[in-house]
Each structure stands twice: as C-alpha cells, then as structure tokens.
Chain A
Amino acid sequence: MFTAATLAILATMLLTIVRALLGPSIYDRILAVNSFGTKTVLLIAVFGFLTGRPDFLDIALVYALVNFVGTIAVLKFFEYDDLGSGAYQDDDF
C-alpha cells in the first residue's frame, strides 16, 4: 500500500522535474519546483509510514514552509526584478 504510494510519488516527481527542465516559460518552472516541493513533503510523510517510523512529519512541515518562502522570493524577483522594497515605495509616496 505505502510502497505503491511511494512509487507513485516518485513518478510524479520525475514528471515535475521534466517540466522544470523543459518548461518554456518561467512560470512552468516555478510551478514545477513548487509542486516538486509538495511532492517532497508527501514523500517524507509516506516514507515515514512505510518504514514504520512516522517521526519525521515535523520535518515535512518545515519543508512546506521553506518551499513557500522560496516560491515567494522567486515570484517577487520575477515581478520587480529586485528583492528590495523599491517597488512598493513608489506606490506609497
């Protein structure tokens, strides 16, 4: 049961890697890496139950957080071409 789930997750990871490599637009790559991060979280969770030690679920949660921060950073960079706060100040003043 968990074995089948693990293999299915690995197959999905391969598909997202292919999309990240080929993806013509940058959005394809960002979406591919984001969903790959989700697959990593799933893999850690399912693998924990596969080996009978689901102690690493907390780690999976941290991965979800790191993945979110990374995606936000890439998207912000893509939108403003900068990681500083310059783009916001124009609106404020």
Chain B
Amino acid sequence: MTEQIVIVTLLTFLVISVVGIIVLRNLLAAVILLGLYSLVAAGAFVVMDAVDVAFTEAAVGAGISTILLLGALSYTTHVQKPQKHNNYAALLFVTVTGALLIYGSLDLPGYGSATSPVQAHPEVGRRFIDESILETGVPNIVTSVLASYRGYDTLGETAVVFTAGIAVLSLLGRRRRLTRDEHSNSTDEEDLV
C-alpha cells in the first residue's frame, strides 16, 4: 500500500516539475527543474526495482545533461523570448501521439504481474538457468543473454553508439584541428622569416 502511495506521489511530482519547466520563462530555472525531474524519475525507478535504469537516469539526466544544458546556456541568454504564434497543430499532434501510446500500453501485463507471459512461460527462464553455461560457456546468465543469445542485437546497439561517438568526434575535433592549423601556419611563416 505504502509502495503504491510512494509511486503515485513521485509520478505526481514528475507532472508538477514538467508543468513548471514548460511555464517558466527563466531558462536557468528550467534547467535546474530538469535536474529535479531526473532526480524524481530516478527515485521512481528505484522504487519500481529498476536499479540499473535509475543509475543511468541519475548519472545522465541529473548529472551530465544538466551540465551540457548549462554549457549551451552560456552561449545564449537566460530568458526565453515570448512566442508570437500559437502552435496548436503541434499540441494536437503531441496529444494524439500520447493518446496512442497510452492506448498501446493498455493490454500490457500489470506492473509486477506474476502471470505475465515472460514469467509464465514454462521453458524459457528454466532453459537459460540450466543450459546457458553449457551452450555459451559464460558464467553470468545476464551476460550470456546479452552477448550470445542476443548477440546481433547488442552488436547493432554498439554500432549505433560507435557511430554517434564518431559523429561527435568529427564535429568537435575538426574545429580544434582548424585552430591548430592556423597556429602552425603562423609559426611556419615565422620560420620562413
């Protein structure tokens, strides 16, 4: 009972902080509230036993992205400009998409349900526990699923992260190389003189 009260209260806090982020015109305050949002979300994930997700949310949401957004703010002003036109089409689109997502979640098994297909399947879990060490040779069952049974999926994810890393490096590294080239050009001229 207390668990449900805690979860519902935390979700209410999420809604309150999101409304605050939308309403506030002070961008620094909005970034601070975004950090608060991530803390609430991470707390809700811990309460729902998803500790690994909560860990990521706290480190990335409350830590890294707050700092990145502050870095972006240092290139702009602190106050959002008032909007001249109303984006009713965007509001409609977002509402319809949200309603579709809620509709899609209606026939999912209940939270923590013991009769969900994943838990109720007679063979799958037993097979991983009994035979994964024989079939893959990996002592950790979770690792055997990630790296062997689901190996192509993990390879795809790694490729996506790798591509994103290369894109960021090529964007950031190019600028630094340009400035270094300018420096080297000037020193070359000095050498010639």
A residues in contact (CB < 8 Å) with B: 3, 6-7, 10, 13-14, 17, 20-21, 23, 26, 29-30, 32-33, 36-37, 40, 43-44, 47, 50-51, 56, 59, 62-63, 66-67, 69-70, 73-74, 77-78, 81-83
A83 touches B71 (CB 8 A): yes
B46 touches A47 (CB 8 A): yes
- Residues on B with C-beta less than 8 A from A83 are 67, 70-71, 74
- With an 8 A cutoff between CB atoms, is B20 at the interface? yes
B35 touches A33 (CB 8 A): yes
Bin chain B's interface residue count.
Answer: 35 or more
Beta-carbon nearest neighbor of B46 in chain A: A44
Of B50-58, B101-109, B128-136, B156-164, the one touching chain A: B50-58
Among the listed A3, A29, A67, A74, which residue makes an inter-chain contact with B70, where contact means beta carbons less than 8 Å apart? A74
B residues in contact (CB < 8 Å) with A: 2-3, 5-6, 9, 13, 16-17, 20, 24, 26, 28-29, 31-33, 35-36, 39-40, 42-43, 46-47, 51, 54-55, 58-59, 62-63, 66-67, 70-71, 73-74
- Residues on A with C-beta less than 8 A from B26 are 26
B35 touches A70 (CB 8 A): yes
Beta-carbon nearest neighbor of A71 in chain B: B35
